[in-house]
Structure 1
Amino acid sequence: MASHSATTASSLTSAAANLGATEANATTTPRAPKRTKLHGRAFYESIGSPKYIVAPMVDQSEFAWRMLTRSFLPADEQHKLLCYTPMFHARLFTEAPKYRDSHFQPIRGPLTADSPRPDSPDYVPFLDGNPEFDRSLFVQFCANDPAYLLSAAKLVAPYCDAVDLNLGCPQGIAKRGQYGSFLQENQELIFELINTLHKELDIPVTAKIRILDTKEATLKYAQNVLRAGASILTVHGRRREQKGHQTGLADWEYIRYLRENLPKETVIFANGNILQHADLEKCLAATGADGVMSAEGNLSDPGLFARPPAVGEEGREYWRSKDGSRGGWRVDAVLRRYLDIIYKYVLEQKPPVRRPLFMPGDDVAWLEEASSTSFETTQANDDSEGPARKKHKSANGSASTTTTTTTTTTAASSSSSSSLNTTNNSNNPHLDKKALQTSPNLVSMQPHCFHLLRHFVTHHTDVRDLLARARNGSEIGKYEAILSQVERKVAQGLLEYERTGGSSFDVDVLETLYQETEDSKDDPESSAQARRENKRPWWVVQPIIRPLPKEALAKGALQLSKKELKAQAAKKAAGGGGDAEATVASVFGSKEKEVKKTASEEALVPVQGQNGGETAVESLETTTNYPKSELVSG
């Protein structure tokens, strides 16, 4: 313990030194006085008792995305939405100014220990944590060193409502760096990380965890986090191993168990299995949590937290099927909103004047004009911006190279407008084109658009190709070209839906899904029901539903390890079930046995006891009692 304390003291000295001499030289910059620091439920109520939460996502819950998500809520309900920043690396945030300034922008210019605070006359808010439109906001860090975590937290504390510790990241990079969910075996360090912020920060500290192998172990884990000083506990109802093709279902029963066994004043957020708006209330009812957090569901549909419009009040942005059973935000409407937010807040210029979104019954002259104009991507564009052009065999067997042909609807869509509109920005003294290249809001645009348009681009690969070339949002003209294509194709899809009386989707798509559901209605490990319930036309934003592990295995997306193959062979030799049954049982049965064996070999998992000492948590059953959920992702 002494050596650990010495290491911590050394790290504190190092982290402080890395902040630079600016702090020591500060003589005139007024410092913000200590806030009235609230804790637990009192703090939660002070920020409006938010029920809905945008999850922290690496490079994906940045300012512009948070603003887009908020834009779907009525102004008087936006206080119900709490947002987290993307996960930041505490050491890099402390040591590397470029990393810091390219991820968190509460003010213009570099963020240092001497930057103007909100109570300073020199304080001019910019984007992240802006009191006018980006609150409530929690900033999340991953860390394994209390000193670096504290140094990073002190930099952001003036511009947010709380600092969150990531204890849930299951990715390989977290394993290599020993942070996120790979700290859960070191409960002593987790306690120290949280407790350091609890004691030293002017604002509360919160934490996000994953469940462990048993409810009892998860409860001990949660108690340790709360005892360390966490004001809010977010629980992702999946284990560390549940990722990729093994993601499977989140177990809401574990969260309910925590709700029933932790003090009533404990504030709990539930995370996992949120695919659509209706799932929010289902989750709250099933878990008893105070709020519900969404990650992937929000990425697929930023309007997820908003109540759907009433029948007859859909307007131009929301689509509803003819029988009224299905609805969702149109992809062209969501993409428009997103680009307009980028223009207004990031590029700081007025968005282009746009025609109203198309609805059947509108004039279609613009569609005919759009279809009559086209441009070919040049060889230079193919070589410099995209992958090599595909070669197709001609009728005589010789290889010929084809170029992608797309249509445009406005002059803004042409390849010559793929850079910033410098005319509109010429009078903006703040615009720094170089800084825009690394703006977190512009760097994230391409992955966001791929997520939003995931179902759309499977039908329109030419738009996918355009998006693949639009790497950075500073090339805003390319995104205007994409929007033009999306608007035109959505209009055509809506016209086809009307022309066929709805059968272009209701019959051609849904009948297949109904049959899949009927074939697998007694199988708790099938995602067919979720696919059917969440399926929308390609012109509507909708969740990406992963196959459950059993389905991934059957499709070959999930492979057995040598150990699992050996277990399968042994079971088959002993007269086990049929091939399919043996395969599935060997994967998931051996996984459970593997967990038990590891626990017995490593003996016990150290967890802080109720009196501050260490207790031991034995490994129990890893099976879940929540197999009936039809939710697959999120």
Structure 2
Amino acid sequence: MVNQSDAPFRLLTRRYGATLTYTQMLDPNQLLNDREYLEFHLRDLQSTHHGWDVYTRPVIVQLCGNDPEVVVKAAKQVQTYCDGIDLNLGCPQEHAREGHFGGYLLNKKDWPLINSIVSAMSHSLAVPSSAKIRLCASAKTVDLGRLLEHAGASWVTLHARHVSAKRRRQGAADLDAVQELKDALTVPVVSNGNVRTFSDIHDNMAYTRADGAMVGETLLGNPCLFSGDDIRDPVHMSLEYLDICKVLPEVTTLKTIQAHVRHIIEFQCVRRPWYSKFRLALNECDSVDEIEALLRGKAGKAPGVAEEPESRDPEDEHKDSNLDDLGDTFDHVSYSG
């Protein structure tokens, strides 16, 4: 989910119950060699606004890579502004195959390299290190989990599907594999996969006994999933996201904003007769104001759209929060990576 976990979207999911968010997968080489790239993501990590600081942390920075020294150097550039560094060992995309990182390090021949990277992270960084993996094809996933634990990973996340560049979500996630990993490790295990509704989170965790539930693509369509509300007006959700983007204008791109609005509207409205024209018009928008006008105009007048809710007060919403430290974050997890 590259370019899908910008600060405004992370703040939106935190408003609606996610207790921990991840950044998108960042490229260590670019963090070290591209000043503009580094500064953009540092702005993203430091983004806040009066009353919103309760939503900005905890946040985990996710890195990819296959060089322990490079990964650690890049992590040191951002560790001051986050609560942990995660190594992505699950990305299935073609560029990960070509660069030999992400899910393409899961073959057993690369496990010594994985061990070196995670060990270097755990011994060199001031914040906890973790890893997100997929199912291993060449060996037992549990054995890789044990390796990660012994290398110093503070927790392990398992997206219980095999790597597939063509179909990222091929078949249902194997929750039995999550349960097996949980039974084998002493560090926390987070389960990723098979969540479409709020009740799926509880069913998933009850079955796997995992310490947390991570949600990715479903959250793009329904950012309020962790609130327990599976159906919330998508136009109003999009407008709320745009409001945050206006306050934090230099931490995301127009292309990313368009993608988020498309996901949110599409999640419930893809079969509406006006959706195809809306999507075309959305792609033609040149500013946040134009996207807002489109939402308030065409989509906002569509059947089934409710009256706009009252504005949310971050301070009031935080009264029941118990997010005092990272140890409290493994109830629910929202993720992009």
**TM-score bin (small chain):** 0.7 to 0.9
Q: CA deviation at 1:209?
A: 0.4
The AA in structure 2 aligned to 1:489 is: K
Partner of 2:88: 166
RMSD (CA atoms): 2.2
Identity rate of aligned residues, in percent?
31
Partner of 2:112: 188
The AA in structure 2 aligned to 1:102 is: F
Structure 2 unmatched ranges of 5 or more: 307-337
What per-residue deviation string (whole Å, max 9, x for no partner) do you get for residues 135-169 of structure 1?
A: 01000000111111111100111110000000000
| Residue 295 of structure 2 corresponds to residue 480 of structure 1 | no
Task: Return the alpha-carbon distance in structure 1 between the equivalents of residues 15 and 9 of structure 2.
Answer: 10
Aligned ranges 1:141-540 → 2 under 5 Å: 141-185=63-107, 186-213=110-137, 217-241=140-164, 243-244=166-167, 247-263=170-186, 266-308=187-229, 328-344=231-247, 346-347=248-249, 436=250, 439-440=251-252, 442-454=254-266, 455-456=268-269, 458=271, 459-460=273-274, 461-470=276-285, 475-490=287-302, 492-493=303-304
Q: CA deviation at 1:243?
A: 4.8
Partner of 1:62: 6
Partner of 1:71: 15
Instruction: Summarize the Cα distance change of 1:246–1:331 in structure 2 as closer, same or farther, 3 Å threshold.
Output: closer
What per-residue deviation string (whole Å, max 9, x for no partner) do you get for residues 104-142 of structure 1?
A: 3157xxxxxxxxxxxxxxxxx5449x9543101000000
Name the SS of the counterpart of 2:157 in structure 1: strand
Partner of 2:322: none
Task: Return the alpha-carbon distance in structure 2 between the equivalents of residues 204 and 218 of structure 1.
Answer: 22
Does the CA-based 8 Å contact 2:135-2:160 persist in structure 1? yes
Name the SS of the counterpart of 1:285 in structure 2: helix
Task: Return the alpha-carbon distance in structure 2 between the equivalents of residues 150 and 183 of structure 1.
Answer: 17
Structure 1 unmatched ranges of 5 or more: 1-56, 74-79, 108-124, 309-326, 348-435, 496-634
The AA in structure 2 aligned to 1:69 is: T
Partner of 2:310: none
Partner of 2:323: none
Q: CA deviation at 1:255?
A: 0.5
Partner of 2:324: none
Relative to the length of structure 2, the TM-score reads 0.83
Instruction: Summarize the Cα distance change of 1:457–1:465 in structure 2 as closer, same or farther, 3 Å threshold.
Output: farther
Q: Which has the larger radius of gyration?
A: 1
- Comparing both structures, which one devotes a greater share of its residues to helix? 2
Task: Return the alpha-carbon distance in structure 2 between the equivalents of residues 191 and 480 of structure 1.
Answer: 47
Name the SS of the counterpart of 2:163 in structure 1: coil
What per-residue deviation string (whole Å, max 9, x for no partner) do you get for residues 447-468 of structure 1?
A: 1111112252542133222101
Does the CA-based 8 Å contact 2:254-2:288 persist in structure 1? no
Q: CA deviation at 1:242?
A: 7.3
Instruction: Summarize the Cα distance change of 1:106–1:340 in structure 2 as closer, same or farther, 3 Å threshold.
Output: closer
Name the SS of the counterpart of 1:329 in structure 2: coil
What per-residue deviation string (whole Å, max 9, x for no partner) do you get for residues 377-420 of structure 1?
A: xxxxxxxxxxxxxxxxxxxxxxxxxxxxxxxxxxxxxxxxxxxx
Task: Return the alpha-carbon distance in structure 2 between the equivalents of residues 144 and 196 of structure 1.
Answer: 12
Instruction: Summarize the Cα distance change of 1:277–1:67 in structure 2 as closer, same or farther, 3 Å threshold.
Output: same
Does the CA-based 8 Å contact 2:93-2:165 persist in structure 1? no
Pick 1 or 2: higher relative contact order, CA cutoff 8 A, min separation 6.
Answer: 2
Instruction: Summarize the Cα distance change of 1:486–1:277 in structure 2 as closer, same or farther, 3 Å threshold.
Output: farther
Task: Return the alpha-carbon distance in structure 1 between the equivalents of residues 21 and 7 of structure 2.
Answer: 9
Q: CA deviation at 1:440?
A: 2.4
Task: Return the alpha-carbon distance in structure 2 between the equivalents of residues 494 and 284 of structure 1.
Answer: 33
Instruction: Summarize the Cα distance change of 1:328–1:268 in structure 2 as closer, same or farther, 3 Å threshold.
Output: same
Q: CA deviation at 1:92?
A: 1.2
The AA in structure 2 aligned to 1:94 is: L
Does the CA-based 8 Å contact 1:242-1:248 persist in structure 2? no
The AA in structure 1 aligned to 2:14 is: R
Aligned length: 299
